Amino acid sequence: MGLPTSCKRINARVSLDTRSPIPYCQLWSLFDMRIPAPLLSAITKPGAVVLPENQASVQTLAKRMDSLTASQQGDAGLRVHVTATGHGIIYGEHGQRILYIDPQGTLLHECAWAATGSLNPPRLLCARLKLDWGQWVGIKPEGLINEARFDISKKPGWQKLTREDLHRMAAQAMGVTAEDVGFFYDDQSLTLDKQGQVTIRHRKDALYILDDGTFSRSRFMACLGAMHWGQIDFLPVVELFQSLLAGTGSATFELIRGLYDDQSANGAPPRLLRYRGIPTYPSPQAFQLFSTYFLPEAPGGTDPFPLFMEPAQSAKVTWRPRREVPRRCFDVEHGLCVTITGGAVQKVTRHNDSAALPFSRPRKDGSAPGGRMVGTTTTVLQLQDGDRRDEFPLRAEWGVTKPAPLPERSASPALTWRALFPDRAPALDMKRAYFAVPLFPEDDRMVEDAMTQPLALEQTLDYLERLSSVPSRSGSLKNVLIHNWDLLLSEIIHPTEDQDYTVIYTRPEFAQRQAQRLWDNAAASGRLSNLRHVVFFQADQHQETAYAKSYGLIYYWIPFEQYRQRAECERSVAAVSKALVSGGSAILAGPPWLKDVCSRVALRVLVSDPIAETAGVRTHRAILPKVRVNPEATLFLVQKS
């Protein structure tokens, strides 16, 4: 177990700890156990606890430092609970957890609650979660509420419509069951007034980036179905999951599982959970995340994954708590965050790491995401990135009982994602590298230039499919130039032995992230050798050289700031035309008047679409209805005469 030696008493009484991240393990009881010093110091460390609702509890604990002991599982009120892994949970007077701390005193999450009366559980006001690489993110229940109004006053008999009738109508409009509508919409969320106006309030919990660790400087990141935090009873849909900072999903489920265990401490059978949302977005990534903390089961004992991947069927998969779940331990001295499950190290994140990728356990085929692997001996933690291997001492409080040493390094140089950059990989600071995710405003502010690219992806792929379906044109796509499409590179590059890609990037952090994803895709399909046909160059150093060559297909995204610089735009489009072979094609993004420019430089517009009217924006607007996209931004599919 992970408890410090000072906490293990020979004559101590033992009880079952159902609040532990590893449930049903032995806990040394109140009367013989002093709280480990790192947990005590974490509670009172200046600036560690920032939510105003928790300040009084922390001050009370600070006054009782000399007499504090760990609580029994049945205790109520303000108390400190130490799990068998050495992690600490602080509960407030309301009985809900307010702090979760690792064995060395690093705060992992903080929650603020409000009482709702004796008949209902306290209500979660907000929570802060620390990511593996040190960034704080936050959750605000019902932080995002979208309202829609409908006039049904001309519908015969609308005055007699009941709550159940409204649920059936809403279910039909949304393509879900009336049960789902009733689950997510209470009497205040779906209303009909005396004038025949129906109001639907779609409540979602909002995820924020906390720039200074507090909600005073927060930026919207993503959202999830409104959880019942006081009584966890379903697994939520995460929307805009591609906007999540690395580690947000795991940190959120660390909290969800912790609260679930707190709420199951009365000895009752564990609640079975289901994946629910309006609508659901099942994905392999969601299944993997859920499976880390809960065990999936399908009716009849069949494979749950195919059933889960069917949106209409995913709720039929039930999820019960796993006995062994991940627990995080920070090593401040060496700048590491180590994640352990069942005595085995699963992943390690290094702080101040410009690659912004964790080290993971090798898969069965010997690979790991980004080519970064972690192994353990009985005394050493091994981190390998390509040909480089670093070792760190294995700390006893991590509770590693299952060594898994890395194999001997190969004599031949390892091909990593860095090989895609012939000059060298971008020189980035850690924070800039980790923030290479698309972020969107939740209000009516205009979506930024670069962040518009993911919204145009679906239409872009449609253009590409049109080109590939024409045999006479598909053969001309051997050489491809991609300029300034930095957020979509892994989506539009499909490396083969007979196709060469030249990438000219302007946003190095996104180019690095996309290169890593390209490497992962190629490694998963066993086609790493195809990456020899892909090169990334920085635009300000290689743009002129790149355009001196000829290509069958060119992607060029004109920055919004150039829309008012007509002469500059015309020069750019002329350069594209010059670099295209006869009959070659280009996918351009630019202002609508680009159509006139194309005709003057031997480019024929085959089709054009305002990005604001594409399917990607419509899908995004279903999540964030107020979204505004540059009305001038237009996609063009053109061909050289």
Helix (H, G, I), strand (E, B) or coil at 120: coil
Close Cβ partners of 223 (under 8 Å, ≥ 6 residues apart): 143, 144, 204, 205, 206, 207, 238, 239, 240, 442, 623
Band of residue 25 on the pLDDT scale cut at 50, 70, 90: very low
- State how far the Cα of 27 lies from the Cα of 620, in Å rounded to an integer: 47
- State how far the Cα of 376 lies from the Cα of 399, in Å rounded to an integer: 12
Number of C-beta neighbours around residue 429 at 10 A: 11
In what helix (H) or strand (E) does residue 542 lie, and over which residues does it extend?
helix 539-547
Among the ranges given (60-69, 199-208, 400-409, 413-422), the one the predictor scored with the smallest mean pLDDT: 60-69
Token pair 């599919």: residue: 637
- State how far the Cα of 272 lies from the Cα of 270, in Å rounded to an integer: 6
Asked whether the predicted pLDDT for residue 52 surpasses 90, the reply is yes
Close Cβ partners of 203 (under 8 Å, ≥ 6 residues apart): 142, 144, 145, 184, 189, 226
pLDDT of residue 16: 38
Mean pLDDT of 451-470: 93
Closest to 126 in 3D by CA, of 44, 212, 206: 206
Handedness of CA 530, 533, 539, 541 (dihedral sign): positive
Q: What does residue 459 show for φ and ψ, rounded to 5 degrees?
A: -70, -35
Number of C-beta neighbours around residue 581 at 10 A: 14
Closest to 289 in 3D by CA, of 303, 277, 278, 275: 275
Q: What are the residues facing 256 on neighbouring strands?
A: none
Burial 596-605 (b: 16+ CB within 10 A, else e): ebbeebebee
pLDDT of residue 68: 63
> What is the tens place of the pLDDT at every residue in 242-293?
999 999 999 999 999 999 999 987 777 889 999 999 888 899 999 999 999 9
Q: 20 or 134, which is more confident?
A: 134
Tokens for 613, please give them.
């009217």
pTM: 0.91
Q: What are the residues facing 625 on neighbouring strands?
A: none
Parts of the chain belonging to CATH 3.40.50.150: 430-640
Contact 569, 591 (CB under 8 A): yes
Asked whether the predicted pLDDT for residue 591 surpasses 90, the reply is yes
Asked whether the predicted pLDDT for residue 115 surpasses 90, the reply is no
Q: What is the CATH architecture of 430-640? A: 3-Layer(aba) Sandwich (3.40)
Tokens for 437, please give them.
């995710």
Burial 142-154 (b: 16+ CB within 10 A, else e): ebbebeeeeeeee
- State how far the Cα of 640 lies from the Cα of 585, in Å rounded to an integer: 6
Q: What are the residues facing 320 on neighbouring strands?
A: 295
Among the ranges given (69-83, 219-233, 252-266, 611-625), the one the predictor scored with the smallest mean pLDDT: 69-83
> What is the tens place of the pLDDT at every residue in 57-93?
888 888 776 666 666 444 567 888 899 899 999 999 8
Asked whether the predicted pLDDT for residue 471 surpasses 70, the reply is no
Chain centroid, CA 188 distance in Å: 30
